[in-house]
Structure 1
Amino acid sequence: MSNRWLEWAKRIQALSQSGLTFSKDVYDIERYEELRKISVEIMAEYTELEMNKVRDLFANETGYQTPKVDVRGVVFKNNQILMVKENIDDKWALPGGFCDIGLSPSENIVKEIKEESGFDVIPIRLIALLDKNKHPHPPEPFHYYKIFILCEIIGGKPTVGIETNNVQFFSEENLPQLSTNRNTESQIKTLFEFLMNPGKETIFD
C-alpha cells in the first residue's frame, strides 16, 4: 500500500508547527492549529494509533520541525554482530536509541550499548547515516535519521538493561526476528559489508 498519505500528513504537521512557531497573527495561528488537527486526523485514520495519542505526540512538538536522530551501535565479535532483544516488541535490534541532549553521537552510543548490552565500547568510525524514509521500515508519524557507529568492545559482559531482555551475537546467515522499526535485514546485511571490507566508504541516505 502506498504511504503517500503518511508523507502528506507529516508535511502538513511540519508546516503547521513551523507556522505556530513563527506566526504572530491570531487568525493565522487558528489556521495552523486547524492544519495540525487535520494531520492528526489523517494519522489516526490510517494507523493503529488512537487520535488522542497522535495529538499528544504532535502537541508536544514545538519550534521548527526537523528530523529526529536515532543512533545505533555496530559491534562485531568472531564475525558476528551484537544485538539486543527489545522488551517493547520482543524482537532484536542493534543497541541504541534516540540521541540525548547534551551528548554527542559517539557519547550517546557508548552509553546506549552499556545500558542495553552490558559491554564497554569505544567508537571507531561512522559507517552510515541513513534516512529512515528511504528504507523498508514500518510507517511512523515523524521523520528520522539513523546514525550507525562502528564500535569495539573494551570490557564489560553481556547484561540486559531496563529496555532489553537478552543479549547475543548473530552471524549474517542466522539473523533473528528483527525489530524493523529499529533496523531492517537489508541494513544489517549492509553493515556486515564493513566487517568484510574495513576500508568501505561511509554510506548515507
Structure 2
Amino acid sequence: MTPTDWLTVAQRLQALAQAGLAYAPNAFDTERYQEVHALSLQLMASLADEPVAKLNALFANEAGYPTPKVDVRAVLFRGTDEILLVQEKIDENRWSLPGGWADVGYTPFEVAVKEAWEETGLETQAVRLLALFDKKQHPHPPQPWYVYKVFVLCEIVGGNLLAETPETSGGRWVHRTELRHLPLSTDRVTLSQLEQMLDFAQNPNLPTLCD
C-alpha cells in the first residue's frame, strides 16, 4: 500500500472511532473506540510527519457522526487563458485560488463570493459549479482531514484587486503557460486542477466535473 492508501485507512479508522464514541452503548465500547481513535492519530502522525499532540488538538472538538470537510475555491477568468491566483501568507506565499473552508450558514456560492472578496478585494457573482472533487483522488500532500473540494466559477462585478489582504500577500492574473513555473500551494490547489479549470474558460459548456 502507498502512503496515500495508509492515510485513507487512518482517516477511516478515525471516522469509525468518532462515530463509535458518539453512539457507544456502554463504557467497554467507549474504551475500545478511544483506543482506535488513538491508534488512528498515531498512524496519521507518522504519515503526515506531525506530532500526535497536534493532531489530537485538531480532532478534540470533533464529535458526532463524522462527515467530510468542505473546501470552496473561487475561479475567475480573464479571457480564455488567464486565471486569478493569490499568494497565501499561511503557506509561504505560494499561489492558490481564492478560497477556504465552507462556513456554517453560507451556501457554497456565498462562500465562494465571500472568499473572493476577502482574499482579492473583488466583488463577484457566483455563476456555476465547475467541479466537486474528492481530495484523496488528486495529488495533494497528506492531510488528517477527509476533504471535498468545490470549485465555483465567479464573475467580477466590482471592487479592485488589492496588493495585500490579511490572508494574502498578492494576487494577479496568471496565464496558462506560467502555471508550471509557479510555486503552488498544493494543499489548496494542484496544477492539474488549475489546467482543468482553464479548460472551462476555453469551453464554457463543458459539464461539471465530479469524482
Q: TM-score, normalised by structure 2?
A: 0.94
Q: Counterpart of 1:93 in structure 2: which amino acid?
A: S
> Which stretches in structure 1 are left out of the alignment for 5+ residues?
none
**Counterpart Cα distance in 1 of 2:4 and 2:149:** 20
Give CA deviations for 1:20-59 in whole Å, capped at 9, x if unaligned: 0111301100110011011111122232211100111122
Hey, what does 1:143 align to over in structure 2?
Answer: 146
1:104 and 2:103 equivalent?
A: no
Q: Secondary structure at 1:166's aligned position in 2?
A: strand
| RMSD, aligned α-carbons | 1.0
**Counterpart Cα distance in 1 of 2:141 and 2:123:** 31
**Counterpart Cα distance in 1 of 2:4 and 2:127:** 36
Question: Given the alignment, which residue of 85, 88, 91 partners 1:86?
Answer: 88
Aligned residues: 205
Contact kept? 2:3, 2:47, Cα under 8 Å: no
Q: CA deviation at 1:80?
A: 1.0
Pairing of 1:33-44 with structure 2 (within 5 A): 33-44=34-45
1:171 and 2:172 equivalent?
A: no
**Higher alpha-carbon deviation: 141-150 or 1-10:** 1-10
Q: Secondary structure at 2:131's aligned position in 1?
A: strand
Pairing of 1:59-138 with structure 2 (within 5 A): 59-78=60-79, 79-89=81-91, 90-138=93-141
Hey, what does 1:26 align to over in structure 2?
Answer: 27
**Counterpart Cα distance in 2 of 1:129 and 1:43:** 25
Pairing of 1:149-164 with structure 2 (within 5 A): 149-159=152-162, 160-164=164-168
> Which stretches in structure 2 are left out of the alignment for 5+ residues?
none
Contact kept? 2:68, 2:148, Cα under 8 Å: yes
Q: Percent identity?
A: 45
Q: CA deviation at 1:2?
A: 3.4
**Counterpart Cα distance in 1 of 2:139 and 2:117:** 28
**Counterpart Cα distance in 1 of 2:191 and 2:54:** 29
